[in-house]
Amino acid sequence: MTATLALKVEGLTKQFRGTTALDSVYLEIQPGEIVALIGPSGCGKSTFLRCLTWLEQPDDGFIEVAGQPFGRERIGAVVRRQSGREIDRIRPRIGLVFQQLNLWPHLTALENIVRPQIVVLKRPREEATRRARDLLARLGLADRAERYPHSLSGGQKQRVAIARALAMDPALMLFDEPTSALDPELVGEVLAVLRQLAEAGTTMLVVTHEIGFAANVADRIAFMDHGRIVEEGPARQLIDAPRDPRLKGFLDLVLSHRDGPAPPLA
């Protein structure tokens, strides 16, 4: 029996003022799979993540999350847009960690994780607090539970945002350039957390410029250019032997800015 896909995307399309940001994107992700999405700036990666969560409304195409239609669905020959209530019900199944993190500055790290569980999932506070403390401990932040975001480092804020998303028990975690806003010495800290999540079987789609992470941690890499996924495949195979000339050129450019590919994560 075939397992239900964590994510299935068919023909996702999005335009802004006549400019095509997403041009009929197709992607499937298996449960427990880690997919790295790479590509040049402005190619549509962040727009893709926002459309996957319906923070941006796609113009066309279909999304399924853990086998459930999300946003638009086919009923026979008819295509129906789901109601806002239906979209809000399914959206927590996708955890999204933004570049900007969007932690609530007036809430402690613990309460940043507890509050969404109570409001969205209707969990009792005691259960939500227990879940939040477990995640903070898992991510090495047990002693930062009562700190406010302004007193946390960039890497610590990133881990709180990850814990907040995980607390919603999503079928899929989306990361939008999780290391882009960090000081160089903190990048390894967050990549280590992502590797920890991967080893625990968390299903992830990670937009990243960290080619070392993509090669060593991701199961598969998808390369996007001009709003389309133009090549995808097993991570090492795609890095070592790219077929599409645009991907080869992109990798040559990225790797030329460092002393060879990043080493495997410890």
Residue 173 reports pLDDT greater than 60: yes
Structure confidence at residue 215 (pLDDT): 86
Domain ranges within the chain, ordered by starting residue: 7-102+170-255
Q: Stretch 3-32: mean pLDDT, rounded?
A: 93
Predicted local distance difference test score (pLDDT) of residue 191: 78
Task: Indicate the pTM of the whole model.
Answer: 0.87
- Exposed (0-12), middle (13-18) or buried (19+): which is 258, by Cβ within 10 Å? exposed
- Is residue 49's pLDDT more than 50? yes
Which CATH code fits 7-102+170-255?
3.40.50.300
Q: Is the pLDDT of residue 136 over 70?
A: yes
Rounded CA-CA distance 252/246 in Å is: 10
Length in residues, the chain: 266
pLDDT in tens, 208-253: 888 888 888 899 999 999 999 999 999 999 999 999 999 999 998 8
Instruction: Output the six-digit token pair for 266.
Output: 């410890």
pLDDT of residue 101: 67
For residues 120 and 92, is the Cβ–Cβ distance under 8 A?
yes
Q: Is residue 223 helix, strand or coil?
A: strand
